[in-house]
A and B are shown apart, each in its own frame.
Chain A
Amino acid sequence: MYIFVAGVILRAIVRGGESAGSRHMNTHLVYLDNAATSWPKPPDVAEAMTRFLAEVGANPGRAGHRLANESARIVYDTREAVAALFNAGDPLRVVFTRNATEAINLALKGLLDKGDHAVTTGVEHNSVMRPLRALQERGVELSVASCSPHGFVDPDAVAKAVKPGTRLIAVTHASNVVGSIAPVREIGTIARGKGLCLLIDAAQTAGALDIDMQRDNIDLLAFTGHKSLYGPMGTGGLVFGPRIDISRIEPLTRGGTGSRSEQETQPAFAPDKYESGTPNVVGLAGLLAGVRWVRARGVEHIRRNEMVLTQQCIDGLRAIDGVTVYGGLDAARQTATVSFCVAGVSVSELGLALDEDFGILCRVGLHCAPVAHRTMGTFPGGTVRFSMGAFNTKRDIDAALSAVARLAVGAGA
């Protein structure tokens, strides 16, 4: 989406740039960093959050008066909307966290004990890899199933990594670097066949791809609210499938829940076991509006548009001399995330020039996923990442492609 910058915001941007000049007056920003967080958000999201702060505002589940109950209803409605979107079953098994990272930490640290074995993959984000490496130091055994250089998880490699003592398979639904989509259903079948838990990191896919926990045998689904669900930052959660025995998953934090106040020990039931302290209801009000917006528009519809833009981006980049595009190069097999490099120019220089000279906002570097870059052979230089969202248009991609073409020529590629 083109944002026509004006007034104070424009002046701030112009002042911030070294090459500030009048040409910025007519520059519009092209936001291609949706894999980091989606922007803009549907107007309903800010409206719902404003409405909560202005008209509800109370702490849910702590009082019982009408505003507290209204606040609790917003939280519950959000659980219900999330459960329906992922075909999860009971809304009370949707546990809210600050983000996907916290949800993944809850799943991994809550489930794995010394002596347990876990399997993960060669395209994981550090949100999965770092807690697993920390657990490894505490006696959890870890296998990293290798992936193709294009970032695709091989289900056979996952199956081969399973051994006696394996308790969990943890897989990212789609790489945050190249967008490659993992064969979740096949891995779910493997997990189910061997009686293992399957944790899916859906940070890049919740709202962007069809997710059905029951069909795909997903036991634990970690999601973020601020990417393809179009909610605000500070929202996310872990959804517990019906096979998960919550008595076997420890909480990350303990504290006040508004329930069982007479007891000095944590409640044993979901969601309270995992949700201590005042929740982010203003964020959840926004998330609810975001999820409703996604469901009204349709995941399929959003996906179709993003696939068109993704293929346009891949094909356009590949046509530019000196540009290498990573991943499967097929929009049908990836999310709306495209990673590339330009010969002769570092990704940091590219990112700066795209922003300052062309108003194109993207992310460069390793994207918190060193193992994925090792898999693709782009470590430690990293890549430039364009990531599209529901508000991007073909014109945005045209603008980004022509900017890259000019920079590639300038680099002497």
Chain B
Amino acid sequence: MRPDNSVVLVHSTSHAIKAEKLMRRAGIDCKLIPVPRKLSSDCGICIRFAARDKSRAALVLAKGGIETEGIHDLAR
């Protein structure tokens, strides 16, 4: 079964806001959420989006110069 949502982890809040802007500009629906504890002990925020947009999101972020700390599927 395919997961509904993915999250992308980035270095900092500033990176997360930049990533959110880039993704929204590219038409990818997304939302800032606290980093799920099981993915990282970092207390920052990450960007949640539909799993079907995963490859597009990766491309948009790479083009925008955002170094990610991985894109993870969110189990429901």
Measuring CB to CB, which residues of chain A are less than 8 angstroms from any residue of chain B? 60-64, 68-69, 72-73, 75-76, 79-80, 90-92, 257-262, 267, 269, 271-272
Q: Is the CB of B45 within 8 A of A79?
A: no
Taking CB atoms, residues of chain B closer than 8 Å to A60 are 13
B11 sits at the interface (CB 8 A)? yes
Q: Is the CB of B41 within 8 A of A262?
A: yes
Chain B interface bracket (under 10, 10 to 19, 20 to 34, 35 or more): 10 to 19
Pick from B34, B44, B65: contact of A259, CB under 8 Å: B44
User: What is the minimal beta-carbon distance from A247 to any residue of chain B, in angstroms?
Assistant: 14
Q: Is the CB of B12 within 8 A of A262?
A: no
Assembled-state Cα–Cα distance A259/B42 (Å) = 7
Assembled-state Cα–Cα distance A181/B44 (Å) = 44
Taking CB atoms, residues of chain A closer than 8 Å to B14 are 61, 72, 75-76, 79, 92, 271-272
Q: Is the CB of A69 within 8 A of B32?
A: yes
B16 sits at the interface (CB 8 A)? yes
Q: Is the CB of A269 within 8 A of B18?
A: no
User: What is the minimal beta-carbon distance from A72 to any residue of chain B, in angstroms?
Assistant: 5
Q: Is the CB of B11 within 8 A of A259?
A: yes
Q: Is the CB of A64 within 8 A of B42?
A: no
Taking CB atoms, residues of chain B closer than 8 Å to A73 are 17
Assembled-state Cα–Cα distance A91/B65 (Å) = 11
User: What is the minimal beta-carbon distance from B21 to any residue of chain A, in angstroms?
Assistant: 7
Taking CB atoms, residues of chain A closer than 8 Å to B11 are 259-260, 267, 269, 272
- Known A-B contacts A90-B65, A262-B42; the reply to A64 vs B32 at CB < 8 A is yes
Taking CB atoms, residues of chain B closer than 8 Å to A79 are 14
Taking CB atoms, residues of chain B closer than 8 Å to A257 are 12
Q: Would you mind naming 19 contact pairs between A and B with Cβ atoms under 8 Å apart?
A: A60-B13, A62-B43, A68-B45, A69-B32, A73-B17, A75-B14, A76-B14, A76-B17, A76-B18, A90-B65, A92-B14, A258-B44, A259-B44, A261-B42, A262-B41, A269-B11, A269-B12, A272-B11, A272-B14
Assembled-state Cα–Cα distance A68/B14 (Å) = 12
Assembled-state Cα–Cα distance A91/B16 (Å) = 13
User: What is the minimal beta-carbon distance from B16 to any residue of chain A, in angstroms?
Assistant: 7
User: What is the minimal beta-carbon distance from B29 to any residue of chain A, in angstroms?
Assistant: 16
Measuring CB to CB, which residues of chain B are less than 8 angstroms from any residue of chain A? 11-18, 21, 32-35, 41-45, 65
Pick from A72, A80, A91, A261: contact of B43, CB under 8 Å: A261
Assembled-state Cα–Cα distance A76/B22 (Å) = 12
Assembled-state Cα–Cα distance A408/B33 (Å) = 66
Assembled-state Cα–Cα distance A73/B18 (Å) = 9
Q: Is the CB of A64 within 8 A of B12?
A: no
Q: Is the CB of B15 within 8 A of A92?
A: yes
Q: Of residues A60, A68, A76, A269, which shows the largest number of chain B Cβ atoms within 10 Å of its Cβ?
A: A76
Q: Is the CB of A76 within 8 A of B21?
A: yes
Assembled-state Cα–Cα distance A61/B16 (Å) = 9
Residue of A nearest to B45 (CB): A64
User: What is the minimal beta-carbon distance from B22 to any residue of chain A, in angstroms?
Assistant: 11
Residue of B nearest to A64 (CB): B34
Taking CB atoms, residues of chain A closer than 8 Å to B34 are 63-64
Assembled-state Cα–Cα distance A90/B14 (Å) = 12
Q: Is the CB of B41 within 8 A of A259?
A: no
Taking CB atoms, residues of chain A closer than 8 Å to B41 are 261-262
Assembled-state Cα–Cα distance A258/B43 (Å) = 7
Taking CB atoms, residues of chain B closer than 8 Å to A258 are 12-13, 43-44
